[in-house]
């Protein structure tokens, strides 16, 4: 079953997301960008309060064009018991130097999910390359949250190819990028492992506060199994 990943920024939002039916908690600072990172001390407190009830990940910031930043950030999280870290990746920048930096980071880190920023391109070999580097999962996402949802930037066929290539590479597979309840009928039939949400769960913009009822409505629809037809 596809799970609901809820991106939260504090303990209150995390509690609301859990009560609403989220399957996965993702810790981020939405005011600091698409993959904005919370302070390590805040992450440690949130993970302790979650106490293993759900899988938990944390984003490392919008550094897909400067992956050398990730090394120091991973160092700050060595004592934080996350299920995964989420590392922004520029798929078209995966040359040998870029891969070497990522490989060095992964050798020091807990399990990692590569977040592919679609505005910078998607390649046919990226999921296999990421798996070879040691990533445990891959996720499609958007950097610009104001210019349309994921499907408007890559198309349903592009999303389908990504899910298939991630599965073939043995990677955990996620989709995100300004998704809302209207996108479930397109993406659930593709059977990703999870769908990620922030804006659709909030009052107002993605920097607003999570609404428990919005989480519940999305979780109920997602878990009901009645979204069967993918968009052609």
Span 164-188, pLDDT tens digits: 999 999 999 999 999 999 999 999 9
In this model, does residue 231 exceed pLDDT 50?
no
Q: Catalytic residue among 28, 136, 145, 221, which?
A: 28
Determine the Cα–Cα distance for residues 205 and 23; give it in Å rounded to an integer: 22
Mean pLDDT of the chain: 93
28 is catalytic: yes
For 118-157, how does the pLDDT look when each residue is reduced to its tens digit (9 = 90+)?
A: 998 899 999 999 999 999 999 999 998 888 899 999 999 9
Q: What does the DSSP 8-state code read for residue 61?
A: -
Q: Go through the chain and tell me how many residues it has.
A: 232
In this model, does residue 230 exceed pLDDT 80?
no
Q: Is 195 helix (H, G, I), strand (E, B) or coil?
A: strand
> Per-residue b/e over 132-170, b at no fewer than 16 CB within 10 Å?
ebebbbbbbbbbebeeebbbebbeeeebbebbebbbebe
- Note the Cα 3 to chain centre separation in Å: 12
CA dihedral 13, 214, 150, 128 (to 10 degrees): 60
- β-partners of residue 196 are 5
For 16-45, how does the pLDDT look when each residue is reduced to its tens digit (9 = 90+)?
A: 999 999 999 999 999 999 999 999 999 999
Q: Catalytic residue among 86, 136, 145, 221, which?
A: 86
Determine the Cα–Cα distance for residues 173 and 141; give it in Å rounded to an integer: 12
In this model, does residue 225 exceed pLDDT 80?
no
Average pLDDT over residues 64-86: 93
């Amino acid at each position: 079953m596809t799970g609901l990943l809820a991106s939260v920024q504090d303990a209150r939002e995390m509690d609301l997301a859990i009560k609403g039916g989220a399957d996965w908690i993702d810790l981020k600072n939405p005011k600091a960008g698409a993959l904005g990172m919370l302070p390590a001390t805040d992450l440690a407190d949130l993970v302790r309060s979650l106490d293993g009830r759900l899988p938990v990940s944390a984003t490392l910031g919008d550094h897909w064009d400067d992956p050398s930043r990730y090394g120091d950030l991973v160092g700050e999280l060595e004592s934080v018991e996350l299920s995964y870290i989420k590392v922004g990746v520029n798929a078209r920048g995966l040359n040998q130097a870029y891969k070497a930096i990522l490989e060095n980071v992964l050798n020091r880190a807990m399990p990692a999910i590569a977040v592919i920023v679609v505005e910078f391109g998607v390649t046919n070999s990226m999921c296999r390359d990421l798996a070879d580097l040691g990533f445990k999962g891959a996720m499609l996402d958007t950097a610009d949250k104001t210019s349309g949802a994921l499907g408007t930037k890559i198309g349903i066929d592009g999303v389908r190819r990504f899910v298939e290539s991630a599965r073939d590479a043995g990677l955990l597979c996620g989709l995100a990028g300004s998704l809302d309840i209207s996108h479930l009928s397109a993406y659930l039939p593709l059977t990703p492992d999870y769908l990620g949400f922030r804006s659709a769960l909030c009052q107002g913009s993605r920097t607003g506060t999570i609404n428990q009822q919005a989480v519940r409505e999305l979780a109920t629809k997602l878990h009901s199994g009645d979204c069967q037809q993918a968009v052609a």
